[in-house]
Amino acid sequence: MHLPVRPRNDLRQYDDLAGEWWRPDGAFAMLHWLAAARAELVPPARRERAVLVDVGCGAGLLAPHLAGKGYRHVGVDLTVSALAQAARHGVAVVRGDATALPLPDGCADVVSAGELFEHVPDLPAAVREACRVLRPGGLLVADTLNATRTARLVAVTLGERIPGGAPAGIHDPGLFVSPARLAAECAAHGVPLRVRGIRPAPVAMLRWLARRRGPVPIVPTRSTAVLYQAWGVRAVERSGI
């Protein structure tokens, strides 16, 4: 497939790759696996009409993994071609920027930010918005790439050259985010984070590279040097007595 040459992290790449979103052996295969792992952090809804806001939802890859959990799945993204696909998978779509979400304060029981923060030039604004739309007691779940040489080697130098790796140019390693930085930004908005490293299960990943079939489990690992998950609950403000 011949694609235009774009600058790194150029939003137009998602239009160029629009046909890849739902291909199980396509350029975004790993995003499906990460979505499944992220959904495991999301508990069943605790109230009627609970809302999950999926920031940077892309084509709605999280949707199948939320089935039966009881949320209204609201997806926010800038790419119209991706939003059209998300809508076909049951997502209530909203076109908007992660740094200025067109949603009211405290509207979300859960905010998902999957593979988002390493694409946002203004990280403080994106974190502020994710926390702003989260209701007190609500859950933030995220996964992203660490700001390490190892992550750059795995995700960019090697990842863009191997079959099944990241699409060429999809990442700007200058935007990768360390766990300490993400935790500090979230804590400033009342969301203390827990963090753990994750990776594709090695044997399943090798099998997928050979056959290009079937899902690959994303499993915890001690190292956060490449990929990591983060999750935390927004503090409940207590009125004085």
Pull the structure tokens for residue 238: 């207590």
- Has residue 165 got a pLDDT over 90? no
The answer to the question of residue 167 being in a domain is yes
The answer to the question of residue 80 being in a domain is yes
Beta-carbon contacts of 206 under 8 Å, excluding residues fewer than 6 positions away, are none
The answer to the question of residue 4 being in a domain is no
The answer to the question of residue 97 being in a domain is yes
The answer to the question of residue 185 being in a domain is yes
What's the CATH number where 38 sits?
Answer: 3.40.50.150
The answer to the question of residue 240 being in a domain is no
- Domain extent for 183: 13-233
Q: What is the pLDDT of residue 18?
A: 97
The answer to the question of residue 241 being in a domain is no
pTM for this structure?
A: 0.96
pLDDT, tens digit, for every residue of 18-42? 999 999 888 999 999 999 999 999 9
Domain total in the chain: 1
pLDDT, tens digit, for every residue of 188-205? 999 999 999 999 999 999
The proportion of the chain whose per-residue pLDDT surpasses 90, expressed as a percent, equals: 89
The answer to the question of residue 1 being in a domain is no
Query: Of all helices (H) and strands (E), which one includes residue 233?
Result: strand 227-233
Question: DSSP readout, 128-149?
Answer: HHHHHTEEEEEEEEEEEE-SSH
pLDDT, tens digit, for every residue of 94-108? 999 999 999 999 999
